[in-house]
Amino acid sequence: MSGPGKKVDKVKTGANAVGFVAAAIVALIAINLISTRAYKRVDFTQDRIYTLSKGSKELVAKLPDRMTVKAFISSDLQPPFSQTAQYVRDMLNEYAEASGGKLKWEAIDPGSDTKLEEEAQKFKVPKMRRGRISSNKVEIGSSYLGVAFQYGGNIESIPEINAPEGLEYQVTTIIKKLAFGKRKIAFATGEGELSPFGDGGPHGGMQAVRPLLEDYELVNVNLGQGEKPIADDVDALIVAGPKQPLSDRAKFVIDQFLMKGKAVALLVDGMVVESPQKMPIPGADQGPKIGRKNDTGLDELLEHYGFKVRDDILMNQELIFPGIVMVQGQMFGAHHPVFAGTNKIGKHPATTGVQLVIFPFGSTMEQVKGKQAGATVTELLTSLPSSWRQSGFFLFDPMAKVKPGEDKGPFPLAFAVEGKLTSFYAGKPYPNEKGEKVTPPDANSSSAPGTFVPLAESQGTPRLVIVADSDFVADETMRLARMAPYGENIRFFLSIVDYLSADTTIAPLRAKALQSRPLAVEKEWVPTAVKYGNIVGVPLLFVLFGLVRWRVRRARRLAAKL
């Protein structure tokens, strides 16, 4: 039916549509005008990577003196760099606001001004080449997008910023370094330990993680040499993967370092897996490897602190990842139960942001009850319930099938201890710098001035981390670190270092900067299902949504005609 009434309805409908569009345009303009004066971001990311953390705010609030920040940002930046530049401005505003006036910053566009370009060079922010679209063509241009920090006459910079991810970690690290200095971390050497400074034997040291420890001052120490092998200004000691028995003097130095209220990490392999051929012929097939107990000489010391690293090999039938194996003189990546992962992570500062850890040829641990009543013990890592451990003789043949054992998990893999500790050498003779056993002075007698008296119990709050594996962070394993799951091993190690140094600011920021999201699968069909779910399932959902919407609108039109 048609007529004047129908025409009036159409006019009203059209007017309403025009009015709605006009109102929406006005609202958008108003929102944009308001946002230029009252900017607010909403961060939906899991680790809040676009929100300034509490630790960063507290750090700048405690600045001893004023800090100057210069952001060199070209005005002609194009997406995505223009969005990154806006993020830089917003973040520096947050730092300045949290500092209470101690941090001042300014944005500088050098353009073609020679003096401003010289200033940028002085502040270690050079002009960088970036792609840009001009006159419907892509060309390479030069622009500035970097930040410099000046404090106490020293200058540090982030010369090139390409993305927001990880920027807060970089900024806070530089502020902390300039204003508060670096913590000192010592790595033990002398008994075949892994070290970030050089070759650590057949496992290649820990040089892969050294660039990630630039926030700290790193030193090597030989625990068995000298009267005072560890300087007083060292905050933490790491003993990673010793392959020889530690001397009595080395163990005494570790014990007394803890008693001073310092921090120690012991990464101890329960087993050593090696070729039976002492001098293998290059290129020849070395055959299966044999596992033997790793005699570190630390058993009694560890048991005194309340722990035991077992001489076994942890294996998984789930969460198995590719590891490097040698077959006929060639290196291959192969899945084998000895490359066992776990996603059973305890909540603790030493596991901040850690979701998965892979233990190549790792061992298991046990807690010995009733040893250190004044300490708090936290289980950091636990193996999967379906895991098992191979004790005694172990033959590693990467080509052979492995049948799951009967000694099933879950098993503890790492512990953290914090609080009051008693010395292993309390009331016992101790080894001096020459390795000679010395009887400590009687506690009731007065000692001559300058006489060394071992500490019988800890001062302050010592921290101790024990992990039943060192290969998880060795260079041989880190060759696979570009694969997301092995990158989690790096995060775990860095979190341990941050915890040992009592650095509560940097650890959460590392978790924000390292945005690994491994898919921990326990069934072989899961990756295939996820793959085709993304390829086929997501488009199919859109098609179904379109069909449903079309049917609804068609039903409405039919109903309107009735």
Residue 262 lies in a domain: yes
What's the rounded Cα separation, in Å, for the pair 103 and 172?
Answer: 12
* Domain end marker among 121, 144, 179: 179
Whether the ω angle into residue 462 lies within 30 degrees of 0, i.e. cis, is no
Same domain (yes/no): 188, 122 = no
Residue 318 lies in a domain: yes
Same domain (yes/no): 239, 159 = no
* Domain end marker among 179, 197, 219: 179
Whether the ω angle into residue 410 lies within 30 degrees of 0, i.e. cis, is yes
Q: Which stretch of 186-190, 330-334, 347-351, 496-500 has the lowest confidence by average pLDDT?
A: 330-334
The 10s digit of each residue's pLDDT in 344-382 is 999 999 998 899 999 999 999 999 999 999 999 999 999
pLDDT score recorded for residue 282: 47
Same domain (yes/no): 196, 145 = no
What's the rounded Cα separation, in Å, for the pair 392 and 311?
Answer: 7
Residue 71 lies in a domain: yes
pLDDT score recorded for residue 225: 82
Mean of pLDDT over the chain: 84
Same domain (yes/no): 187, 175 = no
What's the rounded Cα separation, in Å, for the pair 545 and 541?
Answer: 6
The 10s digit of each residue's pLDDT in 399-411 is 888 889 999 989 9
pLDDT score recorded for residue 279: 44
The 10s digit of each residue's pLDDT in 33-78 is 665 555 455 665 655 666 888 889 999 999 999 999 999 999 989 8
Whether residue 392 is predicted with pLDDT greater than 80 in this model: the reply is: yes
pLDDT band at 16 (very low <50, low <70, confident <90, very high): low
pLDDT score recorded for residue 528: 74
Average pLDDT over residues 441-465: 78
pLDDT score recorded for residue 161: 94
More confident residue, 228 or 300: 300
Whether residue 327 is predicted with pLDDT greater than 50 in this model: the reply is: yes
Q: And the tokens for 509?
A: 């920021």
pLDDT score recorded for residue 283: 47
Average pLDDT over residues 517-537: 66
* Domain end marker among 179, 195, 222: 179
pLDDT score recorded for residue 17: 61
Nearest by Cα to 145 from 92, 99, 96, 98: 92
The β-bridge relationship of strands 128-134 and 137-143 is antiparallel
pLDDT score recorded for residue 339: 93
Residue 545 lies in a domain: no
The 10s digit of each residue's pLDDT in 283-294 is 445 567 888 999
- Is the pTM here over 0.85, yes or no? no
pLDDT score recorded for residue 450: 55
Per cent of the chain over pLDDT 90 is 52
More confident residue, 418 or 8: 418
pLDDT band at 451 (very low <50, low <70, confident <90, very high): low
pLDDT score recorded for residue 353: 86
Same domain (yes/no): 214, 116 = no
Residue 286 lies in a domain: yes
pLDDT score recorded for residue 400: 82
Q: Pseudo-torsion of CA 90, 92, 94, 97, nearest 10°?
A: -130
Residue 486 lies in a domain: yes
More confident residue, 307 or 37: 307
Q: Which stretch of 167-181, 237-251, 317-331, 484-498 has the lowest confidence by average pLDDT?
A: 317-331
What's the rounded Cα separation, in Å, for the pair 333 and 331?
Answer: 7
Per cent of the chain over pLDDT 70 is 81
Same domain (yes/no): 414, 478 = yes
> What is the domain-level CATH number for residue 91?
3.40.30.10
Average pLDDT over residues 195-200: 73
Q: Which stretch of 30-39, 171-180, 484-493 has the lowest confidence by average pLDDT?
A: 30-39
Same domain (yes/no): 146, 209 = no
Whether residue 480 is predicted with pLDDT greater than 80 in this model: the reply is: no
398 and 220 Cβ atoms separated by less than 8 Å: no
Question: What residues make up the domain containing 69?
Answer: 54-179
Residue 483 lies in a domain: yes
Contacts of 472 (CB under 8 A, 6+ apart): 357, 358, 359, 360, 362, 489, 492, 493
Count of structural domains, the chain:
2
pLDDT band at 134 (very low <50, low <70, confident <90, very high): low
pLDDT score recorded for residue 35: 57
Same domain (yes/no): 217, 233 = yes
More confident residue, 529 or 392: 392
Same domain (yes/no): 314, 368 = yes
Same domain (yes/no): 391, 508 = yes
What's the rounded Cα separation, in Å, for the pair 352 and 234?
Answer: 23
Average pLDDT over residues 68-93: 94
Same domain (yes/no): 114, 195 = no
Whether residue 28 is predicted with pLDDT greater than 60 in this model: the reply is: yes
pLDDT score recorded for residue 547: 84
pLDDT score recorded for residue 533: 76
Average pLDDT over residues 410-418: 97
Residue 544 lies in a domain: no
Same domain (yes/no): 402, 266 = yes
